[in-house]
């Protein structure tokens, strides 16, 4: 009989597969994380820096107020629907299809109000649309 004790091998913990799994989890978390700094972006509209402003001979100016009412060439529009704005645009466009529509919207106006003016211009056949802005120097003075 052999009563001598054998040397038992001590068990080893292999860390390489554990590290591989942690790296895969880390890469997954890095790729699927959303960054909150993009969702908290503050916007101030409309301000633009322009060197020289164009003068359009054939223009119709559409003003959109913060509450969503419209005026075309300083004449208030009776309704707020696309049809009423389109009728007023046709009456205000003296040059016909060559008229440039200048949308001058309040900074706190809803986007839908501006889209309504754009849709009315499209229905009226007025394809040249631009937006009026104030320079950043004028915005700082207020």
**Which CATH number characterizes residue 107's domain?**
3.30.420.270
User: 32 lies in a domain?
Assistant: no
Residue 30 belongs to a domain: no
> Do you find a cis peptide bond into 46, omega within 30 degrees of 0?
yes
Residue pLDDT, tens place only, 79-133: 889 999 999 998 888 777 888 899 988 888 889 999 999 999 999 988 888 888 7
Query: Does a structural domain hold residue 125?
Result: yes
Q: Is residue 39 part of a domain?
A: no
User: Does the pLDDT of residue 32 top 60, yes or no?
Assistant: yes
- Over residues 60-66, mean pLDDT: 89
Distance CA(79)–CA(117), nearest Å, equals 12
Report the percentage of the chain scoring pLDDT > 70: 73
Domain count, the chain: 1
Give the pLDDT of residue 51.
53
pLDDT at 70: 92
Domain span at residue 70 reads 59-141
């Amino acid at each position: 009989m052999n009563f001598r004790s054998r040397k038992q091998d001590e068990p080893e913990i292999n860390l390489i597969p554990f590290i591989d799994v942690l790296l895969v989890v880390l890469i997954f978390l890095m790729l699927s994380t959303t960054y909150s700094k993009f969702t908290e972006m503050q916007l101030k509209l409309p301000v633009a820096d322009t060197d020289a402003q164009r003068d359009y001979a054939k223009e119709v100016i559409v003003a959109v107020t913060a509450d969503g009412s419209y005026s075309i060439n300083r004449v208030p529009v009776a309704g707020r629907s696309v049809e009423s704005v389109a009728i007023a645009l046709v009456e205000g466009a003296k040059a016909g299809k060559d008229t440039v529509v200048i949308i001058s919207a309040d900074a706190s106006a809803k986007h839908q109000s501006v889209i309504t003016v754009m849709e009315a211009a499209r229905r009226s056949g007025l394809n040249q649309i631009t937006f009026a802005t104030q320079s950043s120097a004028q915005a700082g003075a207020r």
